[in-house]
Structure 1
Amino acid sequence: MEWRDEGIIIGVRRHGETSAIVEAMTRAHGRHLGLVRGGRSRKMQPMLQPGNRVDLTWRARLDEHLGTFQAEPIELNAARLFDAATAVFGLQMLAAHLRLLPERDPHPALYETLGLILSHLDDAVSAGELAIRFELLVLDELGFGLDLSECAATGTRDDLVYVSPKSGRAVSRAAGEPWRDAMLPLPAFLDRRSGMRADASAFEQAFRLTGYFFERHVYEPRGIGQPEARASFIAAVRRAFPSNAGAAAE
Structure 2
Amino acid sequence: MHVRAPAVVCASRPNGETAVVARLLTADHGLVAGYVAGGRGRDLRPVLIPGNLVEAELRARSDNQLPFARLELVQSRGPWLGEPLQSAAIVWVTALTASALPERQPFPALYEALTALLDAVCLAPSARDWTLPLLSYEVLLMRELGYGGPIERPQSEGWADLLTVFDRLGRDLARFPLAHRRVDVMAARAMLRERLAKIDGA
Q: TM-score range by the shorter chain?
A: 0.7 to 0.9
Displacement of 1:145 = 2.5
Cα deviation for residue 54 of structure 1 reads 0.4
Partner of 2:169: 210
The question of whether the paired residues in 1 share the 8 Å contact of 2:85 and 2:196 is answered with: yes
Q: Larger relative CO (CA 8 A, sep 6+): 1 or 2?
A: 2
- For 2:147, the equivalent position in structure 1 comes to 144
- 2:201 corresponds in structure 1 to 243
Q: 1:84 to 1:127 in 2, by over 3 A?
A: farther
State how 1:153-192 maps to structure 2 within 5 Å.
Answer: 186-188=153-155
Counterparts of 1:62-81 in structure 2, within 5 Å, are 62-77=62-77, 79-81=78-80
Q: TM-score, normalised by structure 2?
A: 0.87
Conservation of the 8 A alpha-carbon contact between 1:12 and 1:21: yes
AA aligned opposite 2:188? A
Count matched residues.
197
1:238: Cα distance to partner?
1.9
Residue-by-residue CA offset, 1:124-159 (whole Å, 9 max, x unaligned): 2223122111111111011113146xxxxxxxxxxx
Match of residue 89 from structure 2 = 90
Unpaired segments of 5 or more residues in structure 1? 149-162, 164-185, 190-197, 245-250
* 8 Å contact kept, 1:97–1:138: no
1:116-155 matches, within 5 Å, as 116-122=116-122, 123-147=126-150
3-state secondary structure, aligned to 2:70: strand
CA distance in 2, matches of 1:121, 1:67: 31
| Counterparts in 2 of 1:129 and 1:67: CA distance versus 1, 3 Å | same
| Higher mean displacement: 37-46 or 228-237 | 37-46
Gapped regions of structure 2 (runs ≥ 5): none
- Between the aligned residues of both structures, percent identity stands at 27
Instruction: State the AA in 1 paired with 2:166.
Output: F
Larger gyration radius, structure 1 or structure 2: 1
Deviation by residue 1:154-187 (Cα, 9 ceiling, x = unmatched): xxxxxxxxx6xxxxxxxxxxxxxxxxxxxxxx41
In the TM superposition, residue 219 of structure 1 has moved relative to its aligned partner by 4.5
Q: Distance in 2 between matches of 1:144 and 1:16?
A: 37
Residues 1:46 and 1:214: Cα distance change in structure 2 (over 3 Å): closer
Runs of 4+ in 1 over 3 A off after TM superposition: 215-220, 222-226
Deviation at 1:72, TM superposition (A): 1.1
Letter matched to residue 106 of structure 1: P
Cα deviation, residue 21, structure 1:
1.5
Q: What do you get for the CA RMSD once the two structures are aligned?
A: 2.2
How far off is 1:31 after superposition? Answer: 1.2
Deviation at 1:188, TM superposition (A): 4.7
> With structure 1 as the length reference, what TM-score do the two structures score?
0.71
Tell me which residue corresponds to 2:186: 227
- 1 CA distance for matches of 2:6 and 2:181? 33
- Classify 1:36/1:127 alpha carbon distance in 2 versus 1 (closer, same or farther; 3 Å): same
Mapped partners of 1:59, 1:218: distance in 2: 29
